[in-house]
A and B are shown apart, each in its own frame.
Chain A
């Protein structure tokens, strides 16, 4: 998963839920209740260190499934962003194989 990634900017609500997404120079609005989960990372390949006291976010990272649109009348599109707890960075990722299952369980 997460094969193509682009950095994005995310604006959060007071309850720490994503509100808006800055992507490709435009601002997208989150238009439905986001879904969040924690996905494992290949930390043994991606991290330089794993010392005791390294802190949260080494083993997993937050994934958000967001329904976003540019304007009120635009059709929403579904995107996935990952939130690296170690760095605080947000990235747009590709999660094709999950889409179906997630809708079915919601």
Chain B
């Protein structure tokens, strides 16, 4: 035998300990000729499933175990031990017995006894769960919280209870008693676990200190505590200094003890990395784990697993045999080497797992039917539910749209087809389980929406799992499930974010704790975290590292060194590197090297944001669990482990937009009260705002004529012409009580599509980002399917592969729709010949090869995989040739499939996403005030709240100031006096009579308890009354005064807000100057209360605040700018005005263009724009070049700015650091309603040292700029055509941003350019590059146009 069975190996999933991934270790072990390999991660089975998978693919027998601290019975001792050395009882490795090699090694089998399959792994899971359970409160004496499942009550095993939260101070560890209990298997059987006592165990430590008597006592205690044969001595030598831990001498002494007491001894190497190169990474991980720099690593050798030297790698069989020989030589008995190695292999044999019987590998498990409240055959039960659904949705009254292309008979055929596949796969229980869960969520009154490929299934639709009708949208079941795809499918359910935890708890309650657990996720190092920790290890000052960390944008730490040379924001670091080297220093070089080493290593596990595992009662036999931040138990397995372990995972994702929508609907009902009022105030009778747009040429393209008879594309609702309300007749979606049933709102509201086409979509789900606004402006959606297409196009794949442009050209009729073959026309018609959806790829493969949709999905998954794709191509070519397609067409279609197949988007995903997109757009169009309140309340999108507040101002929705008598915990819609209908912004018609009252929660520093008291006790009649009854802290009372929330108590003629603030300050300082004194708790309370009344100012309900009426006006009011500054300080938002106001005079002077005036400029105008940064994005680019997109808010709206490489270099670090910027750039019309700016350079408005442009800047630099435009554009890159006509080449814009092509005649002033897609002035959205190659002559004529100053 060549190899050696390593029994003690930490993978990278031993956070801050292991260095290499299971696959790396397994392939090295296999290459060395090993037959078995263990994975014994620290404190858990984090890498276990990946290890087993890796072993199976390498042909190794997997062994699983764990390295755990052993804690003595007495807690205090155990804790005291944490600070210095490991706990007093040390750390051991525990291996699960396996049944892969039952017949082997008779000597050991007779010694150990047999075990039943699964007993070892199940015991290991329980043990790890118990080790983590120590961190739960019940161990801290809170026995009352103990909530045992029936199974736990039976076995006495601890099952973490719902509602318990972990105490991070508690250490993970196991008591010997618990270990003994789990080791004991069924009567007559051998131990299910083997415990390896190595150098870090209590025995090993006693031996190290030459306490041989103590060591003997300890080892005898182990032998006695554990069942016969479960105890093994583990010899390790890292050849450290003789006598030190992990030295050969240490191992020799352990061996002597083992022989003396008749305990078998095995050899391991406590592996942490696959080869010696990993040792430095391990050093850094040790430093990070104990949070002390490398310079102190000498002192922590051997402490808490810190390595003594760099010898802990996966040594080869030959090297391990020579270590055994070295130990044998030292002990003076050469035969010992063979004995040790033989026993090592015997333990490996006893622990080799057979994954299927031992772990339930690969076998899907769903909850027992009885738990679902069902009796009988799951398949029959599922059919019955589907039949119900079929009658409900597809009865005679259903519109023909509901059936899609398949026609009325199609629903039945489709159902039979799906049930057949589900039956063959035995997944009926799965669908019943998921529908039980979604029923539960609906029953809680929580908004939910299924998403993902599950929406492709009619069964999912009929059982209420999904809300998307797959027939109406022509979705393919095989994209979700087929006989060729046997893993449990994924179904994701979006719920209101604010209700997510409640949903989790209810799921635990419904299915039982023994069947339910949360899924975890591995958090890996990324660039910023890696540089911080590497810096800490090197002892570099915190702020210094912080600064570097903050400048890391969109590149992986593994390419850090390359990035330093190329990224402008890393320029300061690059010069430091130079300086450091010049001085002979190595700090910065090492920082870069260590950052690259840490990159992508797992750091810790945490609760997955949405995964809930549902299984049968044996779940906790198959996965260890530990406490999550939520207090609910969480599996140590992540999403990649679900399929191999046959675990059913339901993704219940909290979506803030769902909460926003729920809140908006509540506010609409609350404020209007009746259906009639909702209908009128929401202007639901309005079909189009055609009248408003008429005569405003810049809005051409927004209004379209609705063809007669256009129905609801979803087909769920009969086509509805918005009916006028007469005699109280309301549309079907609106109740008399004003409750809106969004699910029944038709998806064809023209006013909503108009609003979307104006691109005023801030706050709308999925289409609010700068890139999306650009795309939606160009796409100009007219129906629901357009939203699906828009969402599907706006992804890295399509954006990078230039799918967008041909699509738009063909959509708008600028290019001929081209189909390679008539067979494909029906498939590609909806996207004008461009392949957008996975569903289209499946159909193309099916139609041309006849492979069937199931096989087509298998083929699709192989596209884009360099190894598997060639076989797909061979198959495609052979089949299509056989079926008589001409070679030219085969070539053409294949090049399309190869280019797009792996990029496309599942239409079912797009359809599921488009529903909340439409709903939120509908709400913004008709009920902007309530929608804004919902946005403020739940903050769903990508933008900071202050931008949404600015949006409210822009829409003309009054923001009602903070007021203790009116503001509550939440943002509320309030009636205000005003005129009907404000059209500040096209598409969104504010009611004029409604405003949004700012909420107390806006104020930073105010606790929720204080806010609740303030709300509960309102109204107040005086400041003293607030103080007395709501009891805010003095600081917060002062803050409330500063923000004007106490203004209602001010008395005309007396002092103002500033005087009140000074008065409160004086009081706070305990000053006698104060009119009253604030109340405090404490022994002097009575005295203080007395003093408060010195002036005879009891808080009497007189209607006059005696405290404020006594204020003497001494201080002037704050200026509006000062007020805004105060608001920013205290609420992180500018409430009473826009924070750019301070800069308006300067911006006027230099001739900057307000964002809302950009549209009236010609494309290609040079401008100055300014604003507050609201978003920074660096989407992936086709060319690999990085483009940075900034959105600046200048108070008139947002301007989206693209920085290409040159502009990034000209701008330097402030590109990422400055929050208030002035940018010089060139406008680009990107759609009928969209304009963006391509930056040339930028200034930092906040930097007092910045040299800002002079008043005549634009005039003065005009000539220079024009000259630069005439220079040859050496940075253009041409990507040649591919796949004729399907795939357009890109000619990148000139570096100076001159992308204008369709220029107005020379001399024209500020005329809007009629926009045509593909005229060269557009770019693809978000992930865009400038398009279009331009005549140099035209560029020379480009004229700078800018609007007048602001205001």
- Give me the interface of A with B, judged by CB distance under 8 Å: 35-40, 42-45, 47-60, 63, 98, 101-102, 104-106
Contacts and interface: CB of A to CB of B under 8 A. Distances in A.
A49 B240 contact: no
B597 A50 contact: yes
B247 interface: yes
Interface in B586-603: 586, 589-590, 593-594, 596-597
B242 interface: yes
B586 A101 contact: no
Interface stretch (B293-301, B650-658, B1132-1140): B293-301
A54 B247 contact: no
Contacts of A105: 242-243, 247, 249
Contacts of B457: none
Contacts of B249: 105
B596 A51 contact: yes
Contact of A40 (B242, B275, B298, B590): B298
Given A39-B309, A44-B538, A59 B242 contact: no
B301 A56 contact: no
A8 to B, nearest CB: 20
A56 B311 CA distance: 10
A55 B277 contact: yes
A63 B310 CA distance: 13
A42 B590 CA distance: 13
A102 B330 CA distance: 13
Contacts of A35: 242
B276 interface: yes
B308 interface: yes
B283 interface: yes
Contact of B276 (A39, A42, A56, A101): A56
B276 A44 contact: no
B239 A38 contact: yes
Interface of B: 238-243, 247, 249, 275-277, 279-283, 294-295, 297-298, 301, 308-311, 537-538, 586, 589-590, 593-594, 596-597
A102 B242 contact: yes
28 contacts: A36-B239, A37-B239, A38-B309, A40-B297, A40-B298, A40-B308, A40-B309, A44-B537, A48-B589, A50-B594, A51-B593, A51-B597, A52-B281, A52-B596, A53-B277, A54-B277, A54-B280, A55-B277, A56-B275, A56-B277, A58-B280, A59-B276, A59-B279, A59-B309, A102-B242, A102-B243, A104-B243, A105-B249
A52 B597 contact: yes
Q: By CB atoms of chain B within 10 A, which of A36, A48, A51 has the most?
A: A51
The 3 closest A-B pairs by CB, nearest first: A59-B310, A56-B276, A59-B279
Contact of A44 (B279, B282, B310, B590): B590
A23 to B, nearest CB: 23
Contacts of A48: 586, 589
Nearest to B312: A59
Nearest to B282: A59
A38 B301 CA distance: 13
A38 B283 CA distance: 15
Contacts of B298: 40, 42
A50 B280 contact: yes
A50 B590 CA distance: 6
A39 to B, nearest CB: 6
A54 to B, nearest CB: 6
A40 B301 contact: yes
Contacts of A59: 276, 279-280, 282-283, 309-310
A2 to B, nearest CB: 13
Nearest to B311: A38
A96 to B, nearest CB: 14
Contact of A38 (B240, B282, B295): B240
B303 to A, nearest CB: 14
Contacts of A54: 277, 280, 593
A96 B1334 CA distance: 79
Nearest to B281: A52
Nearest to B250: A105
Contact of A47 (B276, B279, B282, B586): B586
Contacts of B238: 38
Contacts of A63: 241
A56 B310 contact: yes
B247 A37 contact: yes
Given A37-B239, A37-B240, A49-B593, 11 more contacts: A35-B242, A37-B241, A44-B295, A51-B597, A52-B281, A56-B276, A56-B279, A59-B279, A101-B242, A102-B241, A102-B242
Contacts of A57: 276
Contact of B242 (A37, A45, A53): A37
Nearest to A38: B309
A44 B294 CA distance: 7
Nearest to A54: B277
A55 B276 contact: yes
Nearest to A46: B586
Contacts of B597: 50-52
Nearest to A40: B309
Nearest to A58: B280
A101 B281 CA distance: 30
Contact of A52 (B277, B282, B310, B311): B277
B310 A60 contact: yes
Nearest to B298: A40
Contacts of B594: 50
Contacts of B294: 44
A56 B313 CA distance: 11
A27 B590 CA distance: 40
B242 A60 contact: no
B534 to A, nearest CB: 10
Contacts of A44: 294-295, 537-538, 590
A75 to B, nearest CB: 23
A63 B301 CA distance: 18
A51 to B, nearest CB: 4
Contacts of A49: 586, 589-590, 593
Contacts of B277: 52-56, 58
A51 B238 CA distance: 23
Contacts of A52: 277, 281, 593, 596-597
Contacts of A104: 243
Contacts of B589: 48-49
Nearest to A36: B239
Contacts of B275: 56
A85 B1276 CA distance: 50
A40 B312 CA distance: 13
A60 B279 contact: yes
Contacts of B282: 59
A60 B301 contact: no
B309 A60 contact: yes
B279 A58 contact: yes
A43 B279 CA distance: 11
A93 to B, nearest CB: 13
Contacts of B280: 43, 50, 54, 58-59
B310 A58 contact: yes
Contacts of B310: 38, 40, 56, 58-60
A101 to B, nearest CB: 5
Contact of A98 (B241, B279, B281, B596): B241
